[in-house]
Structure 1
Amino acid sequence: MDTPQRRPDRWSLHDFQEMELNAPPNEKWELIDGIIHKMMLGGSLAHNEIVVNLAVVLRTALQAKGSASRVYSTNVPVVSEAIDTSTYPDIAVRCGPRVLDQKEMTDPVLLVEVLSRSTGEKDRYDKAEAYFRIPSVQHYLLVAQDRMDVTVLARGAADWVRTRFDAPEDAVEIAALGVSLTLSEIYENVKEIAGTY
């Protein structure tokens, strides 16, 4: 199945979820503002190492402060019926209570995408625009996988505030969660990044 059979130009979240149920197991799709995008499966070792580093550092920091917030990886979709969106961010953190057998989230506080050549543009623009319209989202991190470079987009009073970090000692503050993480922690042991720790 190379592309889903087109119905209207834009898909509703409900129709997309129906399509996903019938998709072959080796294919994964995202719906962003009613438009379907095929996901690349797999990924580089560097990409996966960065995702694991982020998950571990975030979880450890949240546990240290006694937070009930939970860290999730790429298999849990973030959905919004209001904007016909269903995505699989590399990392998501949510702070609300979890119900038994919950399989998706509507209320993430932090979303993280590790950028690759094939997905970077979509993550920077299409996903960012969609994520900005999810009321619970307070922070969106864009993390380069080929160099030490993290961009934080934080919800401000009137607009989103963009801050970029590129030094090992730089501390990325996630104010909504009350935690911070350094770039040296994010990129720890990633051999493709010169000078990492």
Structure 2
Amino acid sequence: MNAPAKAAGQIGSGLWTADQFLEFYMSRPDEERWQLVDGLAMMMVSPTRPHQKIAKNLIFLLEPCLLEARSDLETLWEMGVRVPGISDFNPQPDLLVVEADASFERYADRFFLAAEILSPSNPTEMISRKIELYQRHPDNLYCLTIAQDEVRVRLWARETDWQMTELTSLDDKLRLPAFGFDVKLSEIYRGTSLAA
């Protein structure tokens, strides 16, 4: 996710429900990327090349593991999610693990991993809030943040009661046991200046 910008023309107090946001979002051009966090609609800027490379690497590394361990799941890039019981939250994580189906939706009602690829401009408070709300989804197993300007991956896992683990070396391994995933950070950062 990249730096947000407040949406123009918000109604009332400036805070939207998911339904109001979706009505607005459906009227926007497809190339615009929007999300709703705590009732605030935000437009996201286009991702950088390192951001894209990290996301692509993670997808390519996750897919074979999912085929082996959980063929009912797949990875998606930048799809919105909904969390039951939270009416003002429709974010768009950078990467998701969701049920493998071909339905046409802008939002996944069920997800099993939400990952955010961070740029220096990401507000810490907003990322923290998104991680907190991703953890509330009853099906979600993992939350990840991956820095694009330094080697730093943070993992929160349901199996450890959402305790955060931080990895900061290219030799550190990111382990997601539910997906059969066990990969060095050097593979996630492959092709970026951080892994040179």
Give the shorter-chain TM-score range: 0.7 to 0.9
Cα deviation 1:150-193 (Å, max 9, x = unaligned): 01011246x421001112221111133232221011011212x1
**Amino acid across the alignment from 2:16:** W
**Contact conserved, 2:69 with 2:179, CA < 8 A, in 1?**
no
Give 1:111 deviation, angstroms.
Answer: 0.8
Give 1:24 deviation, angstroms.
Answer: 4.1
Q: How does 1:6-45 map to 2 (within 5 A)?
A: 6-9=10-13, 10-40=15-45, 42-45=46-49
Cα deviation 1:71-130 (Å, max 9, x = unaligned): 0001x2112352122111111002x35253344211111111110122252553121122
- Cα 1:48–1:123 change in 2 (3 A) is farther
What's 1:107 paired with?
Answer: 110
Whether 1:180 and 2:182 are equivalent positions in the alignment is yes
Could you say which structure has the higher helix fraction? Answer: 2
Structure 2 distance, partners of 1:43, 1:79, is 22
- Cα 1:59–1:15 change in 2 (3 A) is same
**Amino acid across the alignment from 2:103:** L
- Cα 1:106–1:2 change in 2 (3 A) is closer
What's 2:130 paired with?
Answer: 127
**Contact conserved, 1:171 with 1:181, CA < 8 A, in 2?**
yes
**Amino acid across the alignment from 1:23:** R
Structure 2 distance, partners of 1:26, 1:65, is 34
- Cα 1:33–1:132 change in 2 (3 A) is farther
Structure 2 distance, partners of 1:66, 1:131, is 21
Give 1:67 deviation, angstroms.
Answer: 2.6
Structure 2 distance, partners of 1:100, 1:24, is 21
- Cα 1:112–1:103 change in 2 (3 A) is same
State the identity as a percent: 26
Instruction: Identify which of 42, 59, 65 aligns with 1:61.
Output: 65
- Cα 1:132–1:64 change in 2 (3 A) is closer
- Cα 1:66–1:175 change in 2 (3 A) is closer
Task: Extract unaligned runs of 5+ from structure 2.
Answer: none
Between 1 and 2, higher relative CO (CA 8 Å, sep ≥ 6) is seen in 2
Task: Extract unaligned runs of 5+ from structure 1.
Answer: none
**Amino acid across the alignment from 2:165:** T
- Cα 1:60–1:19 change in 2 (3 A) is same
Cα deviation 1:49-80 (Å, max 9, x = unaligned): 10100010011222244632100001x21123
> Number of matched residues?
190
- Cα 1:81–1:23 change in 2 (3 A) is farther
**Contact conserved, 2:82 with 2:90, CA < 8 A, in 1?**
yes
Question: Structure 2-normalised TM-score?
Answer: 0.86
